[in-house]
Chain A
Amino acid sequence: MNPYVLAILLSSLGIGTTLTFASSHWLLAWMGLEISTLAIIPLMAQQHHPRAVEATTKYFLTQATAAAMILFASTTNAWTTGEWNIQEMSNPTALVLITMALALKIGLAPVHYWLPEVLQGLNLTTGLILSTWQKLAPFALIYQISPMMNPTLVITLGLASTIIGGWGGLNQTQLRKILAYSSIAHLGWMMIVMQYSPNLAILNLILYIAMTTATFLTFKNVTSTKLSTLTLTWSKTPMMTTMAMMTLLSLGGLPPLTGFMPKWLILQELTKQNLPLTASIMALAALLSLFFYLRMCYAMTLTIAPNTNNNASTWRQKSSQTTMTLSITTTLALTLLPITPAIMALTT
């Protein structure tokens, strides 16, 4: 892409999210969301491939719907209470509508249907931006309205997302769809603790961003988008294959890797709030996601030579990607559990 255009689009993306972070007025927050949506649209469609255009269109329609719902809800609140401030929203109808709108924006179940198909149509870099950066602005809004959200709705969103994210990913062989369902499941974990300890939800988001970035960048480095091409990564980069396996197990939430930390802290918060049944259901639903992460680990690392391989070999070209981000995020994704007290002191 033309570097000037790329610069404008990326800076608009940044400005949009920053605008939403900085705003206390609903209209300004909505504007920030719209700017970031508009900025990512050309990035998604840059290859003019029909599948990419389809993904772009679906993304645009869902995000526009969500933004319109946000506008509607905030004007309803302003009409009944006269208040445009985000943290002073009090009309219950408006709150429910805003929660559903933000759920549609980030892809929580039961309004998650767009996420796997959109993510599948994108290349890995744009998919990474969609999975990580585009979640930040809606989360800033959710964080601010979290004390006022309807508890039943929030727990429903959280439980449904974890279960659907786990079950939906079970039949997938395309990596981007697997990562979409993984995103849905992790967002479920974030939502469920949002009203009890919003800072824990933000911590979960940050750690999820680190782990997902590591995963996306690994896949980009070996240019594989399917489970079958994952089987050949060991011949390109054996060390990265091993590290990717550990990152996937971290996404699955296995101790002693970092991914266990948010799950542990969230389960602790839920039990402190006398919700042990919810906690147990969340924990067991995480096992569903673990199954497809484990399947990826099997395909990638645990069946390497001298075991026979049924897939056609791909070209082993040296990747020109810089690996600094990958190494930093992989390190974060694997080793943060022992410093949990420090991280908790920093974030809660």
Chain B
Amino acid sequence: MLKILIPTLMLFPTTWLVTPKWLWTTTTAQALIIATTSLTLLNWNSETGWTSSNPYLGTDPLSTPLLVLTCWLLPLMILASQNHISSEPISRQRTYITLLTSLQLFLIMAFGATEIILFYIMFEATLIPTLIIITRWGNQTERLNAGTYFLFYTLAGSLPLLVALLILQKELGSLSMLIIQYMQPAPLCTWADKIWWAACLIAFLVKMPLYGAHLWLPKAHVEAPIAGSMVLAAVLLKLGGYGMMRMIIMLEPTSKDLAYPFIILALWGIIMTGSICLRQTDLKSLIAYSSVSHMGLVVAGILIQTPWGFTGAIILMIAHGLASSALFCLANTNYERLHSRTLLLARGMQAVLPLMATWWFIANLANLALPPLPNLMGELVIITSMFNWSSWTIILTGGGTLITASYSLYMYLMTQRGPVSTSIMAIEPSHTREHLLMALHLIPIILLMLKPELMWGWCF
């Protein structure tokens, strides 16, 4: 673990000491080296157990794919931010990269934590850099409101989680995941126990987000700059999913009655947010709501607590992380040229930027879960396990798949096909950097088709 943490920490001196001419090159290169090193984490000692050399940080097949995703995303974020930050003074550029790096550091420690309180502290610690990225570097005045919603929704969910964890520590004596996995879960008899059960999960449900508590997400994703949107969509939402998976295995397994309202909300949310996507005029908002929709499926998969449900959840989290981040990068390429997120203003781009249309095509196919991409594998596994849990869910999940396909197709046809928008006079050609960025997003998705066992979690 240290072989990833120390280079990430060393990214701080790199950012502040390197000459301005080489800043972006050096940081991107170092972040790529860290990402390559993180791939060694995929070499598990045992297929279901923990690999840890110290009592505080460890990896297991659940956290490793997410760790690799996090490490992979940092060079991509730096690549994506290079253009819009370059007009600022050099110390602000360095501050921006420092924020991204500190976010990376907290995320690595969160995914690698074996002590639940360490996970909690790192979970909360990711809020501050994200808040600063959204509110300082966002582009519209609504970003302040977005930052407030983001911070307060997450904290209102996670402060009860802190109390719940402290209660758990009082009951069990230890909060180390290595130890708790062998302990008997306490039966939930009283109302207070049921509230404690809910308190354990609400923080992660708000973070995922679950449909009823999702209002922070469109605001935060839309107002954030590209690196903020990427890290939010790709990793921070998955932090909620990861936390939920860790917590729910320690809770009473027969709490199925308590999980009903959340499963219902999640499934209904897929339909609702998918339908909203069909009526969106703001491109980033469309992608944000599509994130809520996919995460609703993940939430449902986790809450039913079956092996296939978990596996599907992890696969969908990884695949959605890469695909959603790719879509945000594409939306950003439009934004940098037109300074507007309106869908109608960027019509018919295939005639103008044909190579970028390829990336739009692949990213949208990934979003609508085309076989054989891993997005489909995740969705199908979850839908199957939900069908096993209750046959009626197929109506909602099947309808959700249909609506996802519709809005993804709608997004592709609106932005790429049709007449070129008459208000566009001259558009910069695509930068090689942008092509590289998209390739680095989509090639891992395609490669994961070839070895999906890396993402299957404990169910090898």
Question: Which residues in A have some Cβ–Cβ distance to B below 8 Å?
Answer: 238, 242, 249, 254-257, 260, 264, 267-268, 271-272, 276, 279-280, 283-284, 286-287, 290-291, 294, 298, 301-304, 337
Once the chains are docked, how many angstroms separate the CA of A256 from the CA of B113?
15
A255-B124, A255-B125 given; A303·B167 CB < 8 A: no
Kindly identify which residue among A238, A242, A279 contacts B163, using a CB–CB cutoff of 8 Å: A279
Known contacts: A272-B170, A287-B156. The answer to whether A267 contacts B128 by CB under 8 A is: no
Q: Bound complex: CA of A194 vs CA of B121, how far in Å?
A: 25
Chain A residues contacting B192 (CB-CB under 8 Å) are 276
A256 to B155, CA, bound (A): 14
Let me know if B128 and A283 touch, CB within 8 A. Answer: no
| Selected A-B contacts with CB under 8 Å, 7 pairs | A249-B128, A255-B120, A255-B121, A256-B121, A271-B170, A283-B160, A287-B159
B31 CB → nearest A CB, Å? 22
In the bound assembly, the distance between CA atoms of A5 and B235 in angstroms comes to 61
Could you say which residues of chain B place their CB within 8 Å of the CB of A271? 163, 166-167, 170
The A-B contact count (CB < 8 A) is 74
**Is B435 an interface position by the 8 A CB rule?**
no
> B148: CB under 8 A from chain A?
yes
Residues on the A chain within 8 Å of B85, using CB: none
Docked complex Cα distance between A290 and B162 (Å): 17
Question: How many angstroms from the CA of A264 to the CA of B156 in the assembled complex?
Answer: 15
B159 touches A283 (CB 8 A): yes
Given A255-B121, A256-B106, A337-B121, output 12 extra A-B contacts at Cβ < 8 Å: A254-B128, A255-B124, A256-B124, A271-B163, A272-B166, A279-B163, A280-B199, A287-B155, A290-B155, A298-B147, A302-B132, A302-B136
Known: A254-B127, A302-B144. A267 touches B136 (CB 8 A): no
Known A271-B167, A294-B148; judge A254-B136 contact (CB<8 A). Answer: no
Report the bound CA distance from A115 to B137 in whole Å. Answer: 37
CA distance A290 to B151 in the complex (A): 10
A294 — which chain B residues lie within 8 A by C-beta?
147-148, 151
Per-residue A-contact encoding for B292-321, CB less than 8 Å = 1, 0 else: 000000000000000000000000000000
Question: Taking the complex as formed, is B135 at the interface, i.e. its CB lies under 8 A from any CB of chain A?
Answer: yes
- The residue of chain A having its C-beta at the shortest distance from the C-beta of B91 within the complex is A238
Asked if B460 is an interface residue, CB under 8 A from chain A, the answer is no
Which among B91, B95, B128 has the highest number of chain A CB atoms within 10 Å? B128
Q: Would you call B387 an interface residue if the criterion is a C-beta within 8 Å of the partner chain's C-beta atoms?
A: no
CB-CB < 8 A to A238: which residues of B? 91
Q: How far is the CA of A117 from the CA of B18 in the complex (A)?
A: 50
Are B163 and A283 in contact (CB-based, < 8 A)? yes
Query: Residues 102-135 of chain B: 1 if any A CB is under 8 Å from the residue's CB, otherwise 0?
Result: 0000100000000000001110110110001001
B389 within 8 A of partner (CB): no
Q: Which residues of B contact A304 (CB under 8 A)?
A: 136
Closest beta carbon of chain B to A285's beta carbon, Å = 10
Q: Which residues of B contact A301 (CB under 8 A)?
A: 136
Tell me which of B91, B160, B199 has the highest count of chain A C-beta atoms within 10 A of its own C-beta: B160
Q: B167 touches which one: A242, A254, A256, A276 (CB < 8 A)?
A: A276
Closest to B87 in A: A306
Nearest neighbor of B102 in chain A, beta-carbon distance: A256
Give residues 164-219 of B contacting A (CB, 8 Å). Answer: 166-167, 169-170, 192, 196, 199
